[in-house]
Structure 1
Amino acid sequence: MRPFAYERATDPAAAAATARGGAVFLAGGTNLVDLMKLGVARPAALVDVTGLPYDRIEHRPDGSVLIGALVRNSDLAGDRGVRERFPALAQALLSGASGQLRSMATTGGNLLQRTRCLYFQDVTKPCNKRDPGTGCPAIHGAHRDLAVIGTSDACVATQPSDMAVAMAALDAVVHLRPAAGGGRKVPLDDFHLLPGDTPERETVLEPGELITGVELPPPPPGAVMRYRKVRDRWSYAFALVSVAAVAVAGSDGSLREIRLALGGVAPRPWRAREAERALTGRVPTRERLTAAAEAEFATARPLPGNEFKIGLARDLIAAVVLDLMGGDRAAGSNGSNGSNGPVAGPGGGGRG
C-alpha cells in the first residue's frame, strides 16, 4: 500500500488551499478508491469534502433545480421533484452501478469518473491518458467498448457516466469554486474536454477548483423526455450506446424542440447537435431520424471492433424519439408519455 495523508475539509477555502498543493478531493470514493487500489491514481493526500454544505437539492419557483455536488446518486434518483420534472435524469441514475454504489456516489464525483478503458486501468500497459506520450494500445487492441466519435490518434477512451448524458440533454450548468475563491459556471457541454493531443486533461477544472453543484434549467413547456441504455447485460454494465432525449411536439406532430445526448460513443457526453438541427421543425419519421443520426456520425472514426456502435446509436435514437412522440410503440414504449412514466430498473455502469 502506498502511504497518503488524509484530512477532512472544514470549509471550501481550506479544501481548495489543500488541494491546490497537490491533494485530491474525496467524496463518495467509488471511482477514486478503485483507481488507488489499481495503482492508477497515486495521490499524496486526500481531502475529504463530505462535510461541506453541498449536499442539498434546491427546487426553485421557476422550475429549475440546483443539485449540490455532494448529493448522493440514490437521493437524486429518488427525489420526487426530479422524478416528476426531470425523469430522464432519474432513469439515467438508476441505470448506473448498483444500489450500494449509488448510495455512496455523489453528483460531482459522477461527473469526474475516469474511463474504464482496460489499458488505462492496467499500469503494466502504456496509456497516453495515464502516462502522456506512451501511446494508445487500444487503437490496435481491445476497443469494442470505446469511442467512435470525438477521438484522436492519442486516445479513444469513453466517458462512462450515465448521469452526465442525461444532464447534457437537460442543458445542465456546472457550478465551480476556483481555488482563489468566487465562483464560475460552465455549461456541461463544455465541462468535459475531447482528448486531442492532451488526453490526460479531461475537464476544464483548474488545480484546487471544486465542483459545488449542477444547475438544471426548467424543462421546456410540454417537454417529454427519456433515457435509454443498451448494454451487454441488464445489470451493472456500462453503456455500449445510450440516448437521452428531450422533445417538444408541435401541433402538427413536428419536433418544435429536440435535444439529444449520447453515451458510450465519445470521450465526453456527446450532445448530438447535427442531429438536432436536422430534426428541429420536422415530423420525425424513421427515415428522417436515420438520416439525422447518420449526419451526426459523419465525422466518426470507428475502429474495426466498435463500428457497430454507429448503427446501434442510429437505431436507438430513432426508437427513443419515436417512442416519445407516440409514433412507434413497437420500439419499446411502456405506454407512458415519457414525461413522468416508470423509471428504469436495475442498473450498471456509471458511478461517481
Structure 2
Amino acid sequence: METILGLDLPTWWFLVIGGLITGYGVLDGFDLGAGALHLFFNKEESRRLVLNAIGPVWDGNEVWLVIAGGALFAGFPLVYGVLFSTFYIPFMLFLVSLIFRAISIEFRSKEPWAWWRRMWDISYCVSSIFITFLLGLVLGNLIHGLPINKQHEFTGNLLTFFNPYAILIAFTTLSLFMLHGAIYLVMKTENRLYAKLTVLVNNCSKFFILCFILTSMATLIYVPHMTQAFKHHPELFVLPLIAVLTLLNIKRNIDSRKYFRAFMFSCIIMSCLLILFAIGLYPNIIISSTAPANSISIYAAASSNKSLKIMLLIAAIGTPLVISYTVFVFWTFRGKVKLNEMSY
C-alpha cells in the first residue's frame, strides 16, 4: 500500500477527518456553549452583547462541519453511508436544530416586541443545547459501539442510542462546550456582564470537572476496547496526562482570571479528548457491539488509492486557506463587544 511520510493513505485521511472534526469542535464549540448559556442572561442588553460576541464568527465556524462531512464522503464512502443511515433520525434532528439556531439569531432583532425576542431567545438556547447533546450522543455511541451486522446494517432501534454511556458522553460534551463558551464570552465582555460571566465560568468549570471524572471512570470500566492501544503502546499515556494537566490549568487560570490562557487550554483539552477518541477507534471507524468482525475499518471503507491521493493534495491546498480565513476573521473582530446600529 502506498505511503506518504511513513503513513498509508487511509490513515492520512483518518487524520484529516479527525483534524476537521477537532477544528469544528474547538470553533463551533464556544458558539454552542454561548447559546446554551443564553437564558442565564436576563437583561436585553446582556443578551444582545452575548449574541454579538459570536455574531461575526458563528456561521463561518460551521464551515468546518460541512468540510468534515464532505471529506468523510470522499475518503470513506462506506462509513458515510452507514453513519447517515444509522443515525438518520438524530442527524435530521441535528439539521433541524441547526436551522432553528440560525433563524433564531437572525430573526430575533427583526421586531422590537418583548414576546418575539423572548421566543427566539428560547429557540436559540434550546437548539444550541440540542445540537450539542446530539453531537455527544453520536460520539458516545461510536465509542460504545453499534449493533452492526455482516451487511453493515444497523440492527438496533431509536432507544439503542440512549444507552447510559452515550448519555454521559452527551452531558460531558455539553459541559465542555458550556465552559468553552463561557470563557469566550468573558473575554469579549466587560462591566456587569463580565462580573456575571466570571461566576458562570466557575460554575461551568465545576460541571465539566465532574463530568470529566465520571466519563473517565465509565470508559475504563465499561468500554475497555478504548484502552487497548495504550496497553500496546504505553508511550500514549502521555495524552491522558496532558488532558489532566490541561484541566488543572484551565481551573488555575480561571481562578487567576487569565481567561485567554484558560480559553487556549480549553481548546487543548478538547483536542486531546478527540485524539484519545481517535486512538481508541483506530484502525476502525465504526465498532460493532454485537460482533467485532462486523466493525468497519479505515482500510475496508477507504476509496481507491488514486482518489485518496488526489483528494489529499486538494486538502493540503484548501485547509491552510480555511485556517487563514478563520484567523483573519478572529483577528478582525478581536476585542470587547460594543453595540451599534448594525448589531443583532
What TM-score bracket applies, with the shorter chain setting the length? under 0.3
Q: Which has the higher contact order (CA 8 A, sep 6+)?
A: 2
Larger radius of gyration: 2
Instruction: Report the TM-score when normalising by structure 1.
Output: 0.27
In proportion to residue count, which structure has more helix? 2
